[in-house]
Structures are given as C-alpha cells and as structure tokens.
Amino acid sequence: MSDGRALARVYLEQQRLLGTDAVTLPPAGLAASPLPDLAPPASRPPAVKTTDLPPAGLAYDPPARDLFSADPLQQVTTLRGVAELVAPCTRCRLCEARTHTVPGEGAEDARLVCVGEGPGRTEDQTGRPFVGQAGELLTKILAAIGLAREQVYICNVVKCRPPQNRTPLYDEIAACVPYLFRQIEILAPRVILAMGNTAAQTLLDTKQSLGALRGKVHRFRGIPLIVTYHPAALLRNPNWKKPTWDDVRIAHCLLDG
C-alpha cells in the first residue's frame, strides 16, 4: 500500500476509535504509526526514530527495594503478593469507606503500565481498575495503538476510592504509593503512561502542571514515562482527545523502539 493510503487509513481508524472529527497530523519528523493491529512488535517497523522523540523531562529515582528490609511489601515478588497486602490495608483513612480495594490488573509481562488516580464508584464495587466510562475510553485509546487491555497493566496511585471521587490527599498518596512503586518494580515495564495530574505529579515527584509535563520523555527509575490527560477528563473535554492521541503515539514509539 502507498504511504498516503496507509496514512489515511491510520487517521480514519484513529477517528473511529477516539471519536474525534479532527485529523491529527504527526508532529514534524514523526512517521505515521502503524495501523492498530495485534501483530507482534518485532514484525512492525519502528514508528519513529529515537532522534524524533520529544525532549527529555524530569527524572525521579526513589530508592528501590532493599533486599534486607523486613517490610513485607519489599519481600513480595509478585503482583498477586502486592494485591494480598493491599486487600487488608488500613494505612490511610480511605480504607474506611471502601467496598473493595482496587490494586490493579493486567499482564505480568506488560510492557506498558497505565497509571490513573484512584478507583471510582464502579471500580470500588468491582475491585477492578478502569471499568467505568473512563475505563471504556482507556480501552479504546489502547486499541488505537494496537494494544488489548489484557496486554498492559492498569492501576492507580491510590488503591481505595476517595469519598465522592475527590482527589486523593497528600498523606493518602504518601501512604499508598509504596504499593505502586513496588508494582512497577516487579513489572519492570518499558514505558509508563501517567494519566492525569495525580499520577504525573506522584510519579515525577513534582507540582508542575499537566500542561507543563506533557510532550516530554520523563523517567521514573530510568523507565521512560509519558504524561497525558486522564480519560475522565477527556470525557468532559473532547478537545483533549487530539493531544492525548499525540501522547499515546509517543508512548507507542517508545514501546517499539
């Protein structure tokens, strides 16, 4: 197929999946991403040359696992083990109103980890992350880069639902974040997608706004981290779908690179 037709197909598919009516042209120098499909990455051409990637951003390097620590969280070596520690957790006040903890779910060998803020109502009822409306949109966003939900790992900064879906408070995040850090350590993904302010600011240890953090390749313990809008924010403001598409394409490029 000619390049032009391939590009057109990519854009039409993008519009179909993301529900936008605008066509998103790749930033100068960025090649079109391959069509969404489930082909193994090795069979796809790299979507972008490393030199075309956005500039480097922040790097956050919290201390990693201490082999001699007596902390049970440091001793577990599986995602299931982390979830078993989360289930009875009372480290912060969010335990009081929860129905279920929502530790996260996905592939043990996920190359991409998607991090949101905290469980909403449906997540609290089911114990699963991103299963409400925002979750449906996340599933579509992942499909747009050829990834099935089951191929990635999806989790949140806090594992219990904040009352009325309020933003988690600083002390709640501080209490819960060791679980997330340990999950990332166990998964050792190739790329992290931080969705929304809470995930971005927590994983980069910064107060910078989402707007300032987008469009750069940050690092969390050396792992490339891309910041984008939270799917729930996209439901409220569809104008952010286009920039989100740009962000996930960068994440996709890093996955294949």
Q: Which residues bind ligand URA (CB under 6 A)?
A: 116-120, 123, 129-130, 132, 134-135, 156, 232
Q: Which of ligand URA, ligand SF4, none does 101 bind, CB closer than 5 to 8 A by kind?
A: ligand SF4
Between vectors from CA 201 to CA 100 and to CA 101, what angle results, nearest 5°?
5
Taking alpha carbons only, the member of 169, 180, 234, 231 closest to residue 203 is 180
Residue 226 · residue 8 · CB < 8 Å: no
Q: Which of ligand SF4, ligand URA, none does 156 bind, CB closer than 5 to 8 A by kind?
A: ligand URA
Question: CB under 8 Å to 174, separation ≥6 — which residues?
Answer: none
Least separation in angstroms between residue 82's CB and ligand SF4 is 10
Least separation in angstroms between residue 113's CB and ligand URA is 13
Q: Which residue lies nearer to ligand URA by CB, 47 or 232?
A: 232
Residue 248 · residue 145 · CB < 8 Å: yes
Q: Which residue lies nearer to ligand SF4 by CB, 160 or 232?
A: 160
Q: Which of ligand SF4, ligand URA, none does 89 bind, CB closer than 5 to 8 A by kind?
A: ligand SF4
Least separation in angstroms between residue 124's CB and ligand SF4 is 11
Q: Which residue lies nearer to ligand SF4 by CB, 9 or 100?
A: 100
Q: Which residue lies nearer to ligand URA by CB, 115 or 253?
A: 115
* Chain residues in the site for ligand SF4 (CB under 6 A): 86, 89-92, 94-95, 101, 158-160, 172, 175-176
Q: Which of ligand SF4, ligand URA, none does 159 bind, CB closer than 5 to 8 A by kind?
A: ligand SF4
Least separation in angstroms between residue 237's CB and ligand URA is 15
Q: Which residue lies nearer to ligand SF4 by CB, 82 or 253?
A: 82
Spatial distance between the Cα atoms of 33 and 122, rounded to a whole number of angstroms: 33
| Amino acid (one-letter) located at 57 | G
Least separation in angstroms between residue 176's CB and ligand SF4 is 3
Taking alpha carbons only, the member of 160, 163, 168 closest to residue 95 is 160
Q: Which of ligand URA, ligand SF4, none does 247 bind, CB closer than 5 to 8 A by kind?
A: none
Q: Which of ligand URA, ligand SF4, none does 116 bind, CB closer than 5 to 8 A by kind?
A: ligand URA
Q: Which residue lies nearer to ligand URA by CB, 18 or 154?
A: 154
